[in-house]
Structure 1
Amino acid sequence: MSGPLLAIDGVSAFYGNIQALKTVSLDVNRGEIVTLIGANGAGKSTLMMSVFGNPRAREGTIRFDGRPIAHLSTHHIARLNIAQVPEGRRIFPRMTVFENLQMGAALTGGDTFDADLERVCTLFPRLKERLTQRGGTLSGGEQQMLAIGRALMSRPKLLMLDEPSLGLAPLIVKQIFSTLADLNAEGMTIFLVEQNAFHALKLAHRAYVMVNGAITMTGSGRELLAKPEIRQAYLEGGRH
């Protein structure tokens, strides 16, 4: 299939009468890491959630793998090989690590479960040591690893992550971003929403900047890292 894997074109979305997204256009090509950066409240998470239909795009189109999806229900969209790692991780705290990973594999039919589990445990050896432990007893970094691992168990074509570095120690942040680079090297397409602009732009092939619900700038990760206005707005004292 030619064309972007995810194509967002002229999307506007609202919460009641408040316009959260203003004719946003953004593409994620196969095999890319695309990052969306912006201040807290800029509309980054709203854009990611609009891909899953909540909130719905009131104007514009969203296509995944060439197919319009803006009219589909959230559970139908989840079956299209898109996996989301939400802000705040949202693992199942009372379930064990193993059970959380089973939940991630629910859409695959289970035929590849053992191979997928082995892959996740290779990516995150810490999880392998804690398979029988309840998710809620893990550290914040381990919970983020589990949230990513759970998403990978569904064998997604597109992995979307919302603020994966939020609240984590700098060393763990480096590990998470290193793992994302490894996944991309294996061919995984990644769409990343991040406030940690330094790490996100270093990782990204391409990046977009969002201000007040609108895209204000785009370019390669390196191009945006080099721009004085980006450094001033997002990177001053921010090399985490």
Structure 2
Amino acid sequence: MSMAMMSDAPKARATGKPLLAVRGVETFYGSIRALKGVDLDVNQGEIVTVIGANGAGKSTLMMTIFGNPRARSGTITYDGKDITKLPSHQIARMAIAQSPEGRRIFGRMTVYENLQMGASINKFATFNEDLERMFAIFPRLKERAQQRGGTLSGGEQQMLAIARALMSRPRLLMLDEPSLGLAPLIVKMIFQVIKEQNEKEGLTVFLVEQNAYHALKLAHRGYVMVNGEITMSGTGKELLAKPEIQSAYLEGGH
């Protein structure tokens, strides 16, 4: 896996056609309105990030897109199809893969078995080829192939969670806090992999992150979420340069 530092200006592959469109989405937990009319687009070939403090609603947005919890109002469109009311298992079969917050790998299964679970979405059609590709991207997983997921380090578990998602050959990869709890060197490795998959494979990536510096440096475009609302948007470079973003999210974050 390349350890090269990420460039400040990622190469845009975006076509301008929204692959994922969120319009006026509201999500509730009981009587609490967690998302308050969220609008955003993720275009084909882009890396798009949503940044915000803990509790801003970022993970709720990610889970709502994937069907659990359901949006109470608004629409979520993927590749021109309304997926707002679809169950999560049907969404997963539409070439959307999610690496959830906290990794959520199968701790009692081996690394190999976890990767099998990811490949089951497309019925193991290209399993051997994809397995070798994941082992090339994450050599550590090849070394740990027969080790139980629950015995891996936090960084190795995050590698496994991303590799498991990639085993289904998604068009859209959704990542929820991939840097959470990881050492800085591992964070750089994870974000480099995301960048390479976007540039080399044309993978569209939707990322929610507390680590605003790394997320905005990586992303073509970003949104800022505060208390369940999108308050600001722009290119990653534009948002990094804004004084209000620097003071709220980047102090000491470099």
- Map 1:3-152 to 2 at 5 A: 3-152=17-166
1:79, distance to aligned residue in structure 2 (A) = 1.0
- Mean Cα deviation higher: 214-223 or 102-111: 102-111
Letter in 1 for 2:183: A
- Mean Cα deviation higher: 218-227 or 68-77: 68-77
For the residue of structure 2 that corresponds to 1:199, the secondary structure is helix
- TM normalised by structure 1 equals 0.98
User: Could you tell me how far apart the structure 1 residues matched to 2:16 and 2:102 are?
Assistant: 34
Matching of residue 216 in structure 1 with residue 231 in structure 2: yes
- Map 1:149-164 to 2 at 5 A: 149-164=163-178
For the residue of structure 2 that corresponds to 1:107, the secondary structure is helix
For the residue of structure 2 that corresponds to 1:159, the secondary structure is strand
Matching of residue 202 in structure 1 with residue 217 in structure 2: yes
Structure 2 stretches lacking a partner, 5+ long: 1-14
Letter in 1 for 2:72: R
User: Could you tell me how far apart the structure 2 residues matched to 1:74 and 1:137 are?
Assistant: 28
For the residue of structure 2 that corresponds to 1:106, the secondary structure is helix
Q: Which residue pairs with 1:182 in the alignment?
A: 196
- TM normalised by structure 2 equals 0.93
Instruction: Pick from 207, 226, 250 the counterpart of residue 192 of structure 1.
Output: 207
User: Could you tell me how far apart the structure 1 residues matched to 2:47 and 2:155 are?
Assistant: 21
Q: Which residue pairs with 1:229 in the alignment?
A: 244
User: Could you tell me how far apart the structure 2 residues matched to 1:217 and 1:32 are?
Assistant: 18
1:2, distance to aligned residue in structure 2 (A) = 7.9
User: Could you tell me how far apart the structure 1 residues matched to 2:73 and 2:125 are?
Assistant: 39
* Runs of 4+ that moved beyond 2 A: none
Contact 1:140/1:168, CA 8 A, preserved across alignment: yes
User: Could you tell me how far apart the structure 2 residues matched to 1:212 and 1:4 are?
Assistant: 25
User: What is the RMSD computed on CA atoms of the aligned residues?
Assistant: 1.0
Aligned positions, number: 239
Letter in 1 for 2:70: R
1:111, distance to aligned residue in structure 2 (A) = 2.0
User: Could you tell me how far apart the structure 1 residues matched to 2:16 and 2:217 are?
Assistant: 27
